[in-house]
Structure 1
């Protein structure tokens, strides 16, 4: 049966070529830094000419920004149980951080390279700021709930403390992506300890292998 007017059976040739460029960028980023990837490589991987590349993206930066926006959902996913909960829920925090560390293990070159370029690149800076603001807002709300319920001690203003935690996470994950150590499991253990103590004081905290 002929599909309704205005609807396609599947992705167009242009959609497939755009996706091929993005997939090529992901594959190249798994092997080398962003700064070393060229337009010619992206075009060759998508089996198009260099001039055709510019029909889909106006620069290598535009490819990076598209990849970053494609990761937004994954960066947010899994945080809900922790951010929407209350009290020193180590299991929920560990689960959230494990998902984040796993994502950085797979896409560390892209994320670290993009964030390093953010100060001089408004589209990437805006992407980072939007993610940070959303996380800080929800974490600050959690801090406020816990303090009001007597589950967390007073301290810095909730938004300030939440911002410190977000910045700590980013610096730690980006540093690991650049240096290749420690392992994701060890990284999560350390972040769980630091974040819970920043929020709740000196707590007995187990490690994932206990």
Structure 2
């Protein structure tokens, strides 16, 4: 007979640390969050914390990796496509907006505050995303689907930074529609 997989005590404690971090990020700047705060919020000792994570940065990276993975999966259809595809673009932007609503404090600090705690995340994840957007722009231009303009890397950087700034301030459906229109007009006229 197959046994049901249930969360272990360790899984529950690890999740409690992550949940505490999410909660704290809503009201405490990342630089002021301590391991003691994370451990206390999870109901474990400071030494117990180190059984699950080796640093505060590791906790923050775990949170960001989950968000980045979901954003990347949602954007895949648009990034891998070609030509003007408003449905794929809107779908990707809508997921990003939802994630900004759910994880805004974390994303603001990781992507906009230039906090050194997130330097590696920004370099790895954001750089990878920028490269994918630039490749999409270059591909559409080479196929004659997109307008000529600034270098794909520069345009990708402007569009992605704009997306971060807009969603940091207003991750609404109206913002999704606005960004969709701006991206489409920038690329396809």
TM-score range, shorter chain: 0.7 to 0.9
TM-score, length basis structure 2: 0.83
Deviations 1:110-168 (A, max 9, x none): 111233554423xx212122222222222222222222222222111112211221122
1:169 corresponds in structure 2 to: 163
Distance 1:141 1:51 in 2: 46
Distance 1:60 1:53 in 2: 10
Distance 1:183 1:162 in 2: 20
Deviates more, 1:157-166 or 1:19-28: 19-28
1:64 deviates by: 1.4
* Kept after mapping to 1: 8 A contact 2:98/2:171: no
1:43 aligns with 2:39: yes
TM-score, length basis structure 1: 0.75
1:16 corresponds in structure 2 to: 12
Distance 2:132 2:111 in 1: 22
Distance 1:183 1:62 in 2: 27
* Kept after mapping to 1: 8 A contact 2:109/2:115: no
Write the mapping of 1:93-108 to structure 2, written as runs, cut at 5 A.
93-108=89-104
SS at the partner of 1:78? helix
1:105 deviates by: 0.3
Distance 1:38 1:95 in 2: 37
Distance 2:179 2:28 in 1: 26
User: Which one of 9, 27, 40 corresponds to residue 32 of structure 1?
Assistant: 27
1:59 deviates by: 4.0
Decide which structure has the larger Cα Rg and report it. 1
* Kept after mapping to 2: 8 A contact 1:87/1:146: yes
1:200 corresponds in structure 2 to: 188
1:34 deviates by: 3.8
SS at the partner of 1:103? helix
Structure ranking higher in helix proportion: 2
* Kept after mapping to 2: 8 A contact 1:64/1:114: no
Distance 1:42 1:131 in 2: 25
2:106 corresponds in structure 1 to: 110
1:28 deviates by: 3.7
